Amino acid sequence: MYLFKKNSFPHRIVSGILCLVLAMTTFLTIGSQTAKAAISPLITSYKPQVVSTSANLSYINSSGNTVMGTIHHPGIAMRQADLDNMRDHVRAGDEPWNTAFNAFAADSQSSKTPRIYYEDVYIFRHIQGPWGFTDPETGVYYSNPSEYVGARANTDSETAFMQAVMWYITGDETYRTNAMKIIRSYSAAVDCVTHTNFRLATMSYLLSAAAEILRYSDTPTASLKWTGADTANLTHLMDIVSVTYNAHSFFMNQHQFTVMGTMGRAIFTNNLQLYDEAVEAATVNAAGDQGGRNGSIKHQMRWMTTNERTGAALDPADYHVQAIEMGRDVGHSYGNVAGLSTLVRTIYAQGTKVDPGTGARSAASNAVNVFNFLEDRLLAGTTYLLKYHLGYDVLWTPARANQSSTIQYYDTINADGRGRIDAFYSVLYNYYKYIENQDMTGEKYKYLAYAYETRMPEVAFKDYPLFMLLYTPDAAKTVGLSNKITLGSITGLTATAAGANTIYLSWSDVPNALGYNIYRSTDPNGTFTKISSAPNAATLYRDTNLTPDSSYYYQVEVAGGSKSAAVSATTGGTLGTASVRFKNAATGLYTDGMGRTVNGSAAGQWSSGTSNNQRWIEEISGSYVRFKNVATGLYLDGMGLTTNGSNVGQWSSSTSNNQQWSVSIDGNNVRLQNRATGLYLDGMGRTTNGSDLGLWGGGSSANQRWQIVN
């Protein structure tokens, strides 16, 4: 009767053992940046698979020579190996792909119900120019039908690409349905009026990128299979909208969109000659403006040797790479990083190398990887841009821009929006870190690394297929998320006036910060101007040459991160006396005048108190400072003593170098070096109240380091 009754005791033992094993596994992997994460519930049992194929092609060039080459499929930004690597790591729950996928999937364009902007109306089938037009079928008037369609096509094409990626990872047919719907809708276009609209070039690139995934894969749903009609219709769409752009004359970042459209169309249709044109247009664009508006790698990330407005040659020491569209604004200058990265990634995915000078596709022995073209020019221009926005002052040379005429120049960087870091670095970072295995802490790479690692996982803005998920190689598995930097905010910020001309700022360290940028204003509601020429490595800043009896307001910004609320301090002078205390980093005692008013008396140390004997007024003395005791009126004096361990004295005001000190910042402390003797103010390790202050030659001891305290 109870033949099938289970024995609960052994079952509990097995369950207990299983729980113990799971607990041990969790214990062994907890905190590990390479541990597997929970598999996304979006993953299905169906696993899509593209099939790689290549087309060997040729054409006759203008010189009558036969040019041969190969185009690979899928091959717009991602090859089969890239797609499979991404898919398999996400399905395995590996980091950093799991985190990257979750961020990618959280985007509204990656959802199962994305908003699709396509409208089944006349102007989507018969694309019009940028002039007023009344739809003959609906009677609706459009002031700019080209922009109306182009903006929607731009967004929908990116959605199609993201949906195709989601399908390839998850196997959920809902995503493929969405991608196919968008492609088939826009591919129903019949004709297009000749005009200019670079957004239709972006559409061509992104739709073809999505189509490469769908065309070279299969699906169990018959209606979602890619067909010959799909190929013909998408080809027709790209052909008819090609009258709205060319790959040579558009302005800077817009040039890159037009080359993207040309390149996507060339790869999808196996047009080797068009592909070669697009490659050269991405690297040099010899058919375009020589400098000026040219948006190629060579001319946008320009090697500056002359002042292009005056023609004056630069000193060779001042030759530099300059990201030209920074003269226009911050957003479009980042667009060049994004556009050129997209093109470089697509060229690289095709296995194409280029001539080191002309940038044309080449199989010669001296041909270079496109990332390394012109000595890593794209990286150099990106670094220049990032350094500026991270807080470094960079050399700018007036450059010809020709945005709207042949005589336009960018004489300065447009500083509006300085400090903004747009996330467009996945292609460059993953190539240099994992493909070239570069040390990303080196000067050449560290700014790129910092920008990327503080913004992981990268999900780019519209227009560009730049996502951490897509381009992270298999080698990243050993790193996981250990390279991710989460920047904290500024805390503990104080401003302390040390005299009539000096204010000290102090704050708490933010782990992994590149440095800190300092901003100042004389109006709490006014404009704060950056006063540091490079990110401050220390958590202490000394602002000098200020006006007496004046209030100053400060903000401190984490380089590439957030900015603090304002703090203020008022300098001393006729309206009052501003002073500071110096606390020894080793002993915790404070410099103290000890109430001694006789010239030559020793300065001492004492635990924290409210006595004015511990307060010192910093006075500017040329390029040095003097420290006057508030209680005694005497000045800190080296007494001409040059022997290590000598006592520091006090003396009434004089012009002697013995009373002059240089102040250097060391972390969150200062060091005070006597001008006459060269020795440093030293606590001597003495911890007894009343012990004398000493002097000692330069060293690393905390006895020579002093904290500024109000």
Flag whether 203 is in a domain.
yes
Number of structural domains in the chain: 2
Task: Please give the Cα distance from 238 to 261 (Å, whole number).
Answer: 8
Strand partners, 583: 590, 707
Question: pLDDT per residue over 234-261, tens digit each?
Answer: 999 999 999 999 999 999 999 999 999 9
Handedness of CA 94, 98, 99, 101 (dihedral sign): positive
CATH number of the structural domain spanning residue 129: 1.50.10.100
Same domain, 294 and 418: yes
Which amino acid belongs to residue 510? Answer: V
Residue bearing tokens 């809708």: 185
698: pLDDT confidence band, cut at 50, 70 and 90? very high
Give the distance from CA 342 to its chain's centroid.
Answer: 16
Task: Please give the Cα distance from 338 to 255 (Å, whole number).
Answer: 12
Asked whether residue 115 carries a pLDDT value surpassing 90, the answer given is yes
Q: Which pair of structure tokens corresponds to residue 487? A: 């920047």
Domain-terminating residue out of 423, 444, 478: 478
Residue of 333, 313, 317 whose CA lies nearest to 410: 333
407: pLDDT confidence band, cut at 50, 70 and 90? confident
| 8 Å CB contact between 655 and 669 | no
Asked whether residue 363 carries a pLDDT value surpassing 90, the answer given is yes
Same domain, 306 and 175: yes
Residue bearing tokens 């089938």: 125
Question: pLDDT per residue over 488-539, tens digit each?
Answer: 999 999 999 999 999 999 999 999 999 999 999 999 999 999 999 999 999 9
CATH number of the structural domain spanning residue 642: 2.80.10.50
| Residues spanned by the domain of 180 | 54-478
Asked whether residue 347 carries a pLDDT value surpassing 80, the answer given is yes
Residue of 646, 638, 651 whose CA lies nearest to 601: 651
Q: Which pair of structure tokens corresponds to residue 294? A: 């040219």
Tally the residues of the chain: 710
Same domain, 240 and 197: yes
Same domain, 396 and 259: yes
Flag whether 4 is in a domain.
no
Same domain, 502 and 443: no
Question: pLDDT per residue over 300-345, tens digit each?
Answer: 999 999 999 999 999 999 999 999 999 999 989 999 999 999 999 9
Q: At what angle do helices 252-268 and 330-349 cross, to 10 degrees?
A: 20
Same domain, 215 and 289: yes
Same domain, 517 and 387: no
Cα Dmax for the chain: 111
Helix, strand, coil % over all residues of the chain, rounded to 5? 35, 20, 45
Q: Which pair of structure tokens corresponds to residue 67? A: 């040019």
Domain-terminating residue out of 450, 478, 506: 478
Backbone angles phi, psi at 621, to 5 degrees: -135, 85
Same domain, 389 and 523: no
| 8 Å CB contact between 552 and 518 | no
Task: Please give the Cα distance from 280 to 295 (Å, whole number).
Answer: 12
Strand partners, 313: 306
Asked whether residue 695 carries a pLDDT value surpassing 90, the answer given is yes
Give the distance from CA 186 to its chain's centroid.
Answer: 34
Same domain, 527 and 471: no
Nearest-10 Cα torsion for 23, 26, 28, 30: -140
DSSP classification of residue 235:
H
DSSP classification of residue 560:
T
Flag whether 38 is in a domain.
no
| 8 Å CB contact between 102 and 119 | no
| 8 Å CB contact between 33 and 477 | no
pTM for the structure as a whole = 0.91
Same domain, 473 and 523: no
Question: pLDDT per residue over 148-158, tens digit each?
Answer: 999 999 999 99
Asked whether residue 20 carries a pLDDT value surpassing 60, the answer given is no
DSSP string, 481-542: TTT--------S-EEEE-SSS-EEEE----TT---EEEEEESSTTS--EE--SS-BSSSEEE
Same domain, 388 and 500: no
Domain-terminating residue out of 446, 478, 510: 478
Same domain, 511 and 459: no
Task: Please give the Cα distance from 390 to 385 (Å, whole number).
Answer: 9
Flag whether 346 is in a domain.
yes
Flag whether 2 is in a domain.
no
Say how many CA atoms lie within 13 Å of 408 toward its Cβ.
14
Give how far Cα 126 sits from Cα of 133, 146, 192, 241, 702, Å.
Answer: 12, 10, 6, 10, 76
Q: What residues contact residue 21 under an 8 Å CB cut-off, 6+ apart? A: none
Flag whether 12 is in a domain.
no
Asked whether residue 16 carries a pLDDT value surpassing 90, the answer given is no
**Rounded (5°) CA angle 652-653-658:** 90
